[in-house]
């Protein structure tokens, strides 16, 4: 149960701006505080996992103990005490997955506040939703319709029960459990997340969507998402995230793995709106995420689109391994950092196959005292004949106390490779602002309008209903940026 002190703290904060900053008072079951092999076993037992899964977790944990937290990013944050957090929390009234009627009404109320499409109306919009509340997947809608198409879309905990072989075949093959400090930690303690499998030749009949919500205080969230698009299939997946406002920092370390086999296409869109902290830099989510897609088959295609407006710290590089010949990787990103937020985000495009191509469009917006870094790697291995990359990195500064940084790394080991890189840095000019004012558009709205214009190329890649939400979010996250 969210303790009263926490609720009071949260309520006493000037909670106007971050509309998702409420706490839902639901009883929960938590693992004891701290992290050790027993906690890993506890989590695995809670989920009734197969032995190999526990084995993999424990191996990850051992490995993690020997790893060091990376420090190469342009991020400044206090040391994280990994023993001072809960690694597992689930709502006590254990939600049944079969029917929405059986879900705790308080949870549904939370989702309503979040505007999560669990309702009938959204059925019309054709969105299937998996909602992860703290550590547990609460409800997955529209299973029937998806099952007809042969698509599996369920919590990964459920996939481990019902489709263990599929999970075992692909889990950790894109992001191995030795990959990096945060991914290895996730491999040890991941709580839940989504699993998607699209069979050969199937075009997934609806957008799939997951909402992640951190509710409990002092709880880390470690989801793990695994999406497999089998030969010639297509899937579009959306992910949204929110968290209550708290003056402590909370850790979020997710892993997302995508596998696209021959001729398959995966489109993965994120609107990340974790609590960013207040205007003095207090509180907020530490978001250390490893997202990677493997274009494993020839002519496969993976496209990442992200709108990152939340979190106090963002450390995130959704990447593509272009293994299959003629495969295509794309990264479209909007990263907004306001007040004291720090974002270090970008992508890696690793060209392994022949005639592979990639495209990177990054729009970074900095306001307040925020620091926003684009960090990108484009590499071509010796076999990657005719690899192509186009990178465009645009930074927009609002005010003069913030910073924008672009750190591109390029490695080409094949002489036929063509990589292009363009970068611009601009400011919202006084003339632009006045032009809007003179038409009756107030300053904050003008900034939102101009920033949305700056981001247009990326917003266009979001599914329609997400694009609308993202545009509003851009406005909200820039509040107070002009004075």
The residues of the shown chain that bind another protein, judged by CB under 8 A, are 429-432, 434-443, 445, 449-450, 452-457
**Cβ distance to another protein smaller for residue 131 or 470:** 470
**Cβ distance to another protein smaller for residue 98 or 457:** 457
**Cβ distance to another protein smaller for residue 70 or 442:** 442
Shortest approach of another protein to residue 447 CB, angstroms? 12
Per the listing, tokens 């699993």 go with 195
Around 12, how many Cα atoms within 13 Å sit in the side-chain half-sphere? 7
Closest residue by Cα to residue 276 from 33, 106, 479, 5: 479
**Token pair for 194:** 């989504």
**Cβ distance to another protein smaller for residue 413 or 456:** 456
**Token pair for 70:** 């990376």
Distance CA 307, CA 466 (A): 10
Shortest approach of another protein to residue 431 CB, angstroms? 5
Name residues whose C-beta falls within 8 Å of residue 427's C-beta, 6 or more positions apart in sequence. 396, 397, 398
Is 211 within 8 Å of 114 (Cβ atoms)? yes
**Cβ distance to another protein smaller for residue 84 or 445:** 445
**Cβ distance to another protein smaller for residue 264 or 436:** 436
**Cβ distance to another protein smaller for residue 136 or 455:** 455
Helix, strand, coil percentages in the chain from 3-state DSSP, rounded to 5: 25, 35, 40
Closest residue by Cα to residue 135 from 114, 113, 117, 157: 157
**Cβ distance to another protein smaller for residue 289 or 396:** 396
Shortest approach of another protein to residue 115 CB, angstroms? 22
Shortest approach of another protein to residue 478 CB, angstroms? 15
Shortest approach of another protein to residue 458 CB, angstroms? 10
CA distances from 17 to 288, 368, 419, 477 (A): 24, 15, 42, 8
DSSP state of 390: E
Closest residue by Cα to residue 372 from 135, 5, 74, 71: 74
Shortest approach of another protein to residue 438 CB, angstroms? 5
Is 24 within 8 Å of 106 (Cβ atoms)? yes
As a whole number of Å, the CA-based R_g of the chain is: 21
Shortest approach of another protein to residue 367 CB, angstroms? 17
Around 363, how many Cα atoms within 13 Å sit in the side-chain half-sphere? 22
Shortest approach of another protein to residue 440 CB, angstroms? 4
């Amino acid at each position: 149960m969210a303790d009263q002190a926490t609720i009071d703290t949260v309520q006493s904060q000037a909670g106007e701006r971050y509309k998702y900053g409420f706490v839902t008072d639901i009883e929960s079951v938590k693992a004891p505080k701290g992290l050790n092999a027993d906690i890993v076993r506890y989590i695995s037992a809670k989920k009734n996992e197969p032995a190999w899964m526990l084995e993999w977790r424990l191996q990850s944990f051992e490995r993690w103990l020997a790893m060091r937290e990376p420090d190469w990013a342009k991020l400044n944050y206090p040391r994280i005490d990994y023993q001072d957090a809960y690694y597992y929390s689930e709502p006590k009234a254990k939600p049944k997955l079969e029917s929405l009627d059986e879900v705790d009404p308080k949870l549904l109320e939370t989702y309503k506040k979040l505007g999560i499409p669990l309702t009938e109306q959204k059925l019309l919009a054709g969105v299937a939703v998996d909602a992860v509340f703290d550590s547990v997947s609460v409800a997955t809608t529209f299973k029937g319709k998806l099952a007809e198409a042969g698509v599996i879309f369920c919590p990964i905990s459920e996939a481990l029960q019902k489709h263990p072989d599929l999970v075992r075949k692909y889990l950790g093959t894109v992001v191995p459990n030795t990959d990096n400090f945060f991914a290895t930690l996730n491999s040890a303690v991941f709580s839940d997340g989504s699993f998607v499998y699209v069979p050969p030749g199937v075009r997934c009949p609806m957008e799939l969507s997951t909402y992640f919500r951190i509710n409990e205080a002092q709880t880390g969230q470690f989801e793990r998402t695994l999406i497999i698009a089998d030969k010639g299939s297509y899937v579009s997946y959306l992910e949204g995230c929110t968290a209550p406002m708290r003056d402590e920092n909370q850790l979020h370390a997710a892993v997302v793995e995508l596998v696209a086999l021959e001729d398959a296409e995966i489109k993965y869109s994120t609107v990340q709106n974790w609590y960013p902290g207040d205007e003095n830099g207090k509180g907020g989510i530490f978001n250390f995420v490893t997202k990677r897609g493997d274009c494993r088959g020839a002519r496969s295609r993976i496209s990442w689109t992200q709108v990152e407006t939340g979190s106090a710290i963002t450390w995130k590089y959704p990447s593509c391994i272009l293994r299959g010949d003629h495969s295509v990787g794309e990264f479209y990103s909007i990263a907004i950092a306001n007040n004291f937020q720090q974002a270090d985000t970008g992508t890696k495009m690793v060209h392994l196959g022949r005639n592979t191509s990639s495209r990177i469009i990054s729009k970074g917006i900095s306001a307040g005292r925020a620091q926003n870094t684009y960090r990108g790697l484009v590499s071509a291995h010796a076999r990657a004949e005719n690899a192509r990359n186009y990178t465009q990195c645009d930074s927009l500064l609002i005010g003069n106390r913030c910073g924008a940084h672009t750190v591109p790394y390029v490695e080409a080991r094949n002489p036929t490779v063509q990589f292009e890189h363009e970068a611009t840095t601009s400011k919202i000019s006084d003339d632009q602002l006045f032009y809007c004012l003179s038409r009756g558009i107030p300053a904050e709205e003008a900034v939102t309008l101009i920033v949305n214009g700056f981001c247009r190329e990326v917003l266009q890649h979001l599914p329609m209903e997400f694009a609308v939400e993202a545009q509003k979010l851009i406005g909200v996250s820039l509040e107070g940026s002009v004075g």
